[in-house]
Structure 1
Amino acid sequence: MEKIQSKRDREMLVNDGYMYIFDKFSADKQKKFWRFRQKNDCLARIHTSIDNLTILKKSENLHTHGSDAAKVETQIAITNIKKRALSTMEQTSCVINECTSSLSQAAKGVLPNNDALKKQIRRKRIVARFATPAPLDLILLEIPEMYQTYSPEEGIHEQFLLADSGKEINRILIFGRQTGLNILESSKTWFVDGTFSVSPSLFSQVYIILAEDVGGIHPIIYALLPNKKGETYRKLFTMLIDLNPRLLPDSISIDFEIAAISAIKEAFPQVNVHGCYYHLTKNFRKKMGDIGMISNYNNDANFSVMVKMIISLAFVPIADLDVATDLLADDLPDDIVPLLEWFKEYYIGRKNRRKVGGRSPQFPPEIWNLYQRVLTNQNRTNNHAEAANRRLNIQMGVTNPTIWSFINCLKKIQTGRDVFYEQLVTGGSPPKKKKKYIDNDKRILKLVSNYDKNRILLFLRGIANNVSLG
């Protein structure tokens, strides 16, 4: 079985000497239905899976005519000619020769003549050459209709560009499905994260918003942002609320970016903002590098555990953090104390000499503390958002693509996410966690459940042996 293209570049399937053209998806979006390529009285059909095109059902006995192996072979060759025309700059005659040299005598007899094939090659290359040009700036950016819509199934088109802030220097574009906004409305748990390497030219980052629904975490919004300023984040969430004024999340997990956190709290005053533990460890490890601790950390097991006892403060009840910090300061060797002092300044705060008042931290414990989140089985990390970023990077394949290839890539990813969502709706299960992570979570839960404020250093050492740094 092989996939090819029709004369009009529609998706086709070859099986047992017959060519089938894609007809439609099944109602549950789990199958593809293919009909015989010619619209006559032939009722032959094939049903395949979406991902690997495994044949699920075949009605070959309904063919009202014989197969034509020569035509099939010819169409495969023409498909290869079109692909080679786009992937190389070879002369047209060279492309044709490379793709037809191994054809059977019968296929060569029904192959279009060279002039017709050369026209197809030139037409394909002209279309590619005169694709929508990349914009020079965000004010001049015009988005053609074909890039504003998404087709969830054959013959159906819906708006994919959900919002555009307008022709301005600090322009924001929001992509996603209208059904996704409904998921955002019903979901009380969101995850947000930005990625930079696959952001199209003229934009600074792709900001992804995910929501929890039907047992899974789903990317809902892909926003193109021009910078990381607070006013940009505020405008983004204002645009989002304009799209659906009923949005009311209970919690949002995010990395440690002050501008974004402030904008979220302004847009959703009732929300609990949770800093991602993974990003906390990344910040922690970066500081270790700044003060020259990485080598000792990597080569001295005891040193490593003592360093991780600092980050393990995230698992101590907020009410006990000051006591825990003081105990740790007395217990740690002098060469590790500077790291603890940095952590206190940015994440815990400094009390004055009377232990009343003092300097507030940049990131208060209410954002990053994990004690209650572990006990209530809430997500500690933003791994779902990281996975969405990784998926985008892999699918894109290049850094800073054109906005057109970026949008096309988003549509492909959306198709896959639609399938995953429908699988969960019909009772499917999300990917299972690896056993080693499940076991690690159980150990941490046991330690946190048995927390004893009279044995804080022992607790910190226990947690330190069960966590790693990003």
Structure 2
Amino acid sequence: MQSNDGPAIDETSSSSSSSSSSSSSSFSSFSSSSVTVTITKLTTNKRKSMLTVNGYEFHFKDYNKAKTIKFLRCASRNCGILLHKSFSDEFVRFSGKMTDHSHLPNTAALGIRTLREKLRQRAEHERLPLQEIAEQEVRAGLLTGHNLLHNRRKLMPPLPQSCDFNIPDEYRKDYLNRDRLLLHDSYDPQFQLHESVYKRPEGRTLVWSSDVQLKLLFDSEKLYMDGTFCTAPPNFNQVYIIQVIHHETFKLYLFH
């Protein structure tokens, strides 16, 4: 969302600055009107400052004419998100009406940068052999399969005990929460088809795909289909997928 409480700012264009890198991470949260963001301070390979905002990397772009506000742009070249922040790293507002990124945040890259910065700091201040420092940090960062599964399950709703359950809204739309993702649910009245052209099967049928995926699916000259019974979730008999070749790689475009 966009806050309208920020100061009037003269925006100017400029070439963007610098490269990606290693990171130090100090976290702070700020709120401006209805916008709340979490800012993480990073350090690039060239030891210049860089920020992530709500998990998205931002690079410095320019100052306003009065040199009181910094303009930052999303590190992804194909994303047009810009924001304004103060010199004390307080979020001021987003620039323009667009506040949703065109991509997901790269949390893995942030973790790698954090690990690199820890290694750099320890190498500069400790006398231990470098290999031992690296092994200690890597071991500390690794999780067992059980711990990974436990962490994943804490973020997900519990497994249903039958096929009669409500599907949360976050599983009905895409990651931007704008376009549909759930195409059909035979238990949901809004998806009911006329019985003259469709005979409802026994049990529950769920179909997921985005509109972008469907377009690629319909435009594809070849389809690859596969069904499995052994990995179907509890209370369901089969998982069926349809794939197409996109950029010389198999992509899943319909999940049934």
Larger Rg: 1
Say whether the fold is shared (TM-score over 0.5): no
Greater percentage in helix = 1
User: Which TM-score bucket, shorter chain as reference?
Assistant: 0.3 to 0.5
